[in-house]
Amino acid sequence: MSLYLRIVRYLRPHAPYFALTVLATLAFAGLDAFTYVLLIPFVRALFVGDRSGLPGDGGESATAEPALMDRLLDATVYRVVDFSGDELQAVQGIILLILLTFALKNAFDFLRAWLVARVEQGVTRDIRNEVYEHLLRLDLAFFGRTRMGQIISRLTHDVEQLRSLVTKELAKLMSSVFEFVVAFGLMLTISWQLTLAAVVVIPGTMGVWGPLVKKLRRGDRRVLDLAGDVNSHIQETLNGIRLVKSSGAEELERDRFRALTGAYFRTFVRTERWRALAGPLTEMLAAVGTVVILWYGARLVVVDEAITGDLFVGFLALSLKLYAPVKYVARFPAVVQPGLIGGERVFEFLDAPTEITDASSARPLGEFRDEIRFDGVDFAYREGEPVLTGIDLVVPRGTVVALVGPSGAGKTTVIDLLGRFYDVTGGAIRVDGVDLRDLQLRSLRDGLGIVSQETVLFHDTVRANIAYGRPDASHEAIQRAAEAANAHGFVSAMPDGYDTVVGERGTELSGGQRQRIAIARALLRDPPILIFDEATSALDTESERLVQDAIERLLEGRTVFVIAHRLSTVQRADQIVVLDAGRIVERGRHDELLSRGGAYHRLHELQFSEAE
């Protein structure tokens, strides 16, 4: 119940439209039931020869008719339809009244459907916005342990399931309840005995679904989990399509995908089998109820003469209207399971804590003046599995520090800690003596410029990609940054220049061109601290030369961290730090470290001999 109440809270911003939905639903339910009431005067006018007992005729009824139904008809139908003349004229009047009632009912049905759609899409928008904004605030650790396909699945498929529950199914439930109440009330005005006979089967109808709900809940959760796995596989395969093709792994990926879709198919069909089972059972119970009414009603009309035949026809029609909402209300716990499971999965993301946040007393970074200091820094992604241990490092302002070491030594982790994408688990990192955890995240990251091996470009124009993070930058500033990054030449040669769309992940550009766009982006931001993470390791010689030339301009007057194998700046760095197994094993300048014949010397022989 608490889960459902949390879901329903998303209706609050749309309360006026939802209130109108309720009113339209009430009007629809009343008019829908009234169309069945109109069968009573229709049958009375067409098949009852003696109409002297009708209201307004002054005669007395031959049978003891229920006063409440007579009053209802007297206040509505008999005021607008003339029953004193020919039967066919009365029938024509009732037919016109039926047409008018249907027209009004369908008008309210249209209004109800339109309002539901508006609220539905408003709720969908709000939920997606909230989940997306929360995802942007979450830490890198969350994305490291969560498959991207699962994230996309919850933003799309699961939100759709949740949307249906909040609006469509809730509106159906309300409509069913209103229809039941109206039909039940009108049936009571005809015969309380028949009404009791009609509701005898309702408890059985409601109880059919109870044992199935747990099975459906497990099945629906498994279905949504598998849908996320299918999305994840599609995304991973398409992102690595070049590797798939170059490895001849098409059949392998086809078989893996078929296994996933097969599991989804089997689980979905098995779950729907249970959902479909109760439908015929409730239908049979409704049929039993109808048979009871027919048998008992026939006795009341023919033997006991407690009600007239025309009232019995109207009651029978209303009883058929009664069972449809009962069946839906009975099925509701099972019908809403996909939405409830979707809500659980969406709320798992919304409830994921944001661990890297501003302290209440956090202050802006301000101007970087002195140094960056790592004091005994320890870090572990998982408890008991240290990645960095006892890192002590001082980086004066305006110096270049190169981090080298074998793969897995912890070089990139050092940089991630500096950007506070993760928090240290021991020790501290300070900028000008201030702990990073006491600085505002936004100002800290505004002071960093990162150029990595895997350049991130968006499916947008060159201009937008260079100005990412500074959307208000002028064209002149963008062009100056591109010129400094050796990018202006190839950008100008493109069909639309700076307005050329670079394609998904920058596929319209070469590796060197993408890297120079990234450098232009860093230049435009003009940060005091720069980070190069394997920025040229994947480039050919000519592209590397152009990128290195751009980097040389970028280094001027800045504090720089370099993680590299091929960058010539490593040899000219003010300080080279050698990491191994999460510890600093050597530090010094290039010539000094080479002369020691230690870890750096071995790395140099392996990685830089070609450059030498």
Residues 426 and 285 in one domain: no
What was the pLDDT predicted at 608?
54
CATH code for the domain in which residue 415 is found: 3.40.50.300
Higher pLDDT, 11 or 171: 11
Residues 328 and 474 in one domain: no
What was the pLDDT predicted at 107?
94
Question: Smallest Cα–Cα separation from 447: which of 520, 361, 531, 563?
Answer: 531
Residues 329 and 386 in one domain: no
Which residues have C-beta within 8 Å of that of residue 205, sequence separation ≥ 6?
Answer: 282, 285, 286, 323, 326, 327, 330
What was the pLDDT predicted at 377?
94
Per-residue pLDDT tens over the stretch 532-560: 876 555 555 665 666 666 666 666 677 88
What was the pLDDT predicted at 551?
67
- Which whole number is the average pLDDT over 173-186? 85
Confidence of residue 376 (pLDDT cuts 50, 70, 90): very high
167 in helix, strand or coil? helix
What was the pLDDT predicted at 424?
92
What was the pLDDT predicted at 72?
80
- How far is it, in rounded angstroms, from Cα 281 to Cα 86? 47
Residues 524 and 458 in one domain: yes
Q: Is residue 568 part of a domain?
A: yes
- How far is it, in rounded angstroms, from Cα 121 to Cα 347? 19
Per-residue pLDDT tens over the stretch 391-420: 999 999 988 898 988 888 888 899 999 989
Residues 164 and 116 in one domain: yes
Burial of 311 (0-12, 13-18, 19+ CB in 10 A): buried
- How far is it, in rounded angstroms, from Cα 21 to Cα 12? 14
Residues 148 and 182 in one domain: yes
Overall domain count for the chain: 2
Question: Which of 321-325, 372-376, 382-386, 491-495 has the lowest average pLDDT?
Answer: 321-325
Per-residue pLDDT tens over the stretch 256-311: 888 989 998 998 888 888 777 766 776 777 777 778 888 888 887 777 777 777 88
Residues 340 and 387 in one domain: no
- How far is it, in rounded angstroms, from Cα 36 to Cα 310? 12
What was the pLDDT predicted at 438?
92
- Which whole number is the average pLDDT over 363-369? 86
pLDDT higher than 50, residue 51: no
- Which whole number is the average pLDDT over 566-593? 83
Residues 340 and 429 in one domain: no
Under DSSP, the state recorded for 496 is: T
pLDDT higher than 90, residue 374: yes
- Distances from the Cα of 180 to the Cα of 23, 30, 318, 326, 329, angstroms: 16, 10, 10, 7, 10
What was the pLDDT predicted at 65?
43
Confidence of residue 426 (pLDDT cuts 50, 70, 90): very high
Q: Is residue 356 part of a domain?
A: no
Q: Is residue 359 part of a domain?
A: no
Residues 320 and 398 in one domain: no
Q: Is residue 36 part of a domain?
A: yes
Q: Is residue 547 part of a domain?
A: yes
Confidence of residue 459 (pLDDT cuts 50, 70, 90): confident
Q: The domain containing residue 575 runs over which residues?
A: 371-607
- Which whole number is the average pLDDT over 556-572? 73
Residues 322 and 181 in one domain: yes
Q: Which of 282, 317, 350 is the last residue of a domain?
A: 350
Residues 304 and 440 in one domain: no
Residues 335 and 375 in one domain: no
pLDDT higher than 80, residue 506: no
Asked if residue 486 lies in contact with residue 523, where contact means CB atoms within 8 angstroms, the answer is no
- Which whole number is the average pLDDT over 429-439? 92
Q: Is residue 493 part of a domain?
A: yes
User: What is the percent of the chain where pLDDT is above 70?
Assistant: 87
pLDDT higher than 60, residue 611: no
Higher pLDDT, 168 or 430: 430
